[in-house]
C-alpha cells in the first residue's frame, strides 16, 4: 500500500478537500493521451490517484489505475501504449466516501461486464444513500470490489432490466440520491450525466470530429478543444459517431449548483455557468471590501487561493496589493524531514513571509475560507514574527459551519471553527486584530445575484454556510446527524 498524496495547497490539512475530476474523449485517435492531458488540468480536484479506461475495436477495453499525480504516471509512453483506441474516460480522485487509505480497488473509473457488453464509469460527487443501496445490493447477492459509493451505480446497472446500457444507467440513477456528475463509456458510446440539482459541474466540448466531457473548461483548453455548453442539471447526453443525443430522465427541480466551486474548488481560469471563476473571485474581494473595510497599509493574499479576492479587495479599498507571503513552488512529496525540529519547520518550508515588505505594516490577509483555524493561526504567527504592526483577516466566504455531503471531504461539524464559535470568539481564538467574513448575501452578489440570496429558493447549494441541505443526507441522518438549521 502506498501513502496518500501530499496536499496540493500548502495548508491543505485545513482546507475543504476538492471532490474528484472526470474527463472523457470520443472520436479521436489515441483518445487516452488526450484524457491524460485533461486529467492533468483537473489535478487540483484530486491528487490521491487517477485512472483511465480506453476501448479499441480490436483490443477491447483496457485500463490503468495509479496512485499519485497524473504527471508521474500517465506521461509514460510505455503505459499509454497499453490504452489504445478512439474512446477513453478518466478520473482523478480525492476520497470523499469509502476508504481513506490508498487502496487501488477504490481508484476509478470502475468497469463492469454486462450481457450487452462492457461499460466503465467515472463519478464526481457523493451518493448520500449509498449505505442503504449497498446493503440492499449485498443482500440480493452483489459482490462489491471497492469501498466507494460510486460502485453502487455499476451494480444497479447490472440488475436493471432495461435493454441497453444508457437506459440501464438512467434506471440506476433514478435510485440514487445526492450529487453526481458522471462520465461513462461503452464500446461505442460516451455518456455524461448531471444530477437533477446540478450540484457538481460538467461541460461538453468539441475537438475536430471528436467530443469531450470534462469537469471544468480549463481541461478543454489544454487539449485545444472548443467549449460547446454546460451539461444541464438532470441532463444525460449520449455521444456516438452519429453525434450527441440529449435526454432528461429525472423529474425537474430547481438547480442548486455548489457555490463553493466559485470560491475555491474550480481553477480560476475555468468558466462556470458562463461566468469567469477568476472574475467572480475578484468580485468577492470587492464585496468583502465594501462590507468589511479596515484601515491598513497592505492587502496580501494567502497563496494561492486567496489571490483573486485580494486583488478585488485592494482595487475596491484603494489599499496597495502586495505579495507579503511567498509560496515555495517546489515543496515536493519526497522531501525528507529527518528530525522533529525540522518537521516543526514544515510551515516555513511551504510559505515564507516577505519580511522587508511586512515589517511595521498593518496587514490585511485575504484567504478563501476558515475551516479548523489551524492554518490561520500559523500564518498570523508568521506575519507577526516578521514584524507586522497589525494583522487583519478578511475571508472570501461566509463562515463554514456545516459539513458537505455532496462530494467534498469536510471535517465533522464539531471540528469546524464556525460551528462552535461566534465571529468575535474566532477572532480572539486566532489572536488577530480583526476577523471578518463576506456575508452570504455578499457572496451571492459576487456570483451575479444582484439582490443577494433568495431565501425561498436559493440558486446555489450553500449548505456548508447555511445548513440548508437540498437533498437529505440519508446515510448521515441514520448515523445521528441532525439537520437542525434546516428545521
User: Rounded to 10 degrees, what is the CA torsion of 61, 66, 71, 72?
Assistant: -130
* Half-sphere exposure (Cβ direction) of 244: Cα atoms closer than 13 Å: 19
Is residue 152 among the annotated active site residues?
Answer: no
Catalytic residue among 20, 218, 404, 461: 20
Cis ω before 304 (30° cut-off from 0)? yes
Q: How far is CA 293 from CA 287, 290, 328, 465, in A?
A: 10, 6, 30, 22
Catalytic sites, residue numbers: 20
Amino acid at each position: 500500500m502506498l501513502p496518500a498524496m501530499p496536499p496540493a495547497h500548502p495548508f491543505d490539512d485545513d482546507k475543504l478537500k476538492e471532490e474528484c475530476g472526470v474527463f472523457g474523449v470520443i472520436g479521436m485517435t489515441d483518445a487516452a493521451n488526450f484524457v491524460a492531458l485533461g486529467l492533468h488540468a483537473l489535478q487540483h480536484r484530486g491528487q490521491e490517484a487517477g485512472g483511465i479506461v480506453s476501448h479499441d475495436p480490436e483490443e477491447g477495453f483496457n485500463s490503468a489505475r495509479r496512485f499519485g499525480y497524473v504527471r508521474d504516471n500517465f506521461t509514460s509512453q510505455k503505459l499509454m501504449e497499453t490504452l489504445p483506441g478512439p474512446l477513453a474516460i478518466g478520473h482523478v480522485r480525492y476520497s470523499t466516501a469509502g476508504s481513506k487509505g490508498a487502496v487501488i480497488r477504490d481508484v476509478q473509473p470502475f468497469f463492469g461486464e454486462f450481457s450487452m457488453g462492457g461499460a466503465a464509469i467515472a463519478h464526481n460527487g457523493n451518493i448520500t444513500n449509498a449505505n442503504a443501496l449497498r446493503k440492499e445490493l449485498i443482500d440480493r447477492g452483489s459482490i462489491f470490489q471497492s469501498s466507494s459509493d460510486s460502485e453502487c451505480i455499476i451494480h444497479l446497472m447490472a440488475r436493471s432490466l432495461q435493454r441497453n446500457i444508457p437506459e440501464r444507467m438512467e434506471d440506476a440513477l433514478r435510485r440514487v440520491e445526492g450529487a453526481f456528475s458522471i462520465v461513462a463509456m461503452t464500446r461505442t458510446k460516451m455518456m455524461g450525466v448531471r444530477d437533477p440539482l446540478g450540484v457538481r459541474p460538467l461541460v461538453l466540448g468539441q475537438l475536430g470530429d471528436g467530443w469531450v466531457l470534462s469537469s471544468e473548461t480549463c481541461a478543454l483548453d489544454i487539449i485545444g478543444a472548443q467549449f460547446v455548453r454546460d451539461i444541464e442539471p438532470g441532463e444525460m447526453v449520449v455521444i456516438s459517431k452519429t453525434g450527441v443525443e440529449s435526454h432528461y430522465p429525472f423529474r425537474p427541480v430547481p438547480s442548486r449548483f455548489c457555490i463553493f466551486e466559485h470560491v475555491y474548488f474550480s481553477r480560476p481560469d475555468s468558466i462556470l455557468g458562463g461566468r469567469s471563476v477568476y472574475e467572480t473571485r475578484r468580485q468577492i474581494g470587492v464585496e468583502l471590501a465594501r462590507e468589511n473595510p479596515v484601515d491598513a497599509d497592505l492587502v496580501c493574499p494567502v497563496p494561492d487561493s486567496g489571490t483573486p479576492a485580494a486583488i478585488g479587495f485592494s482595487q475596491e479599498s484603494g489599499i496597495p496589493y502586495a505579495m507579503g507571503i511567498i509560496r515555495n513552488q517546489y515543496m515536493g512529496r519526497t522531501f525528507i524531514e529527518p528530525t522533529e525540529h525540522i518537521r516543526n519547520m514544515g510551515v516555513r518550508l511551504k510559505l515564507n513571509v516577505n519580511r522587508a515588505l511586512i515589517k511595521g505594516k498593518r496587514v490585511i490577509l485575504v484567504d478563501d475560507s476558515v475551516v479548523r483555524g489551524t492554518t490561520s493561526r500559523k500564518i498570523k504567527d508568521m506575519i507577526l514574527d516578521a514584524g507586522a504592526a497589525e494583522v487583519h483577516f478578511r475571508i472570501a466566504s461566509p463562515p463554514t459551519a456545516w459539513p458537505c455531503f455532496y462530494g467534498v471531504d469536510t471535517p465533522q461539524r464539531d471540528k469546524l471553527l464556525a460551528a462552535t464559535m461566534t465571529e468575535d470568539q474566532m477572532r480572539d481564538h486566532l489572536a488577530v486584530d480583526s476577523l471578518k467574513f463576506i456575508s452570504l448575501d455578499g457572496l451571492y452578489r459576487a456570483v451575479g445575484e444582484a439582490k443577494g440570496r433568495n431565501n425561498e429558493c436559493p440558486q446555489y447549494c450553500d449548505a456548508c454556510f447555511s445548513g440548508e441541505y437540498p437533498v437529505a443526507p440519508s446515510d448521515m441522518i441514520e448515523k445521528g446527524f441532525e439537520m437542525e438549521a434546516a428545521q
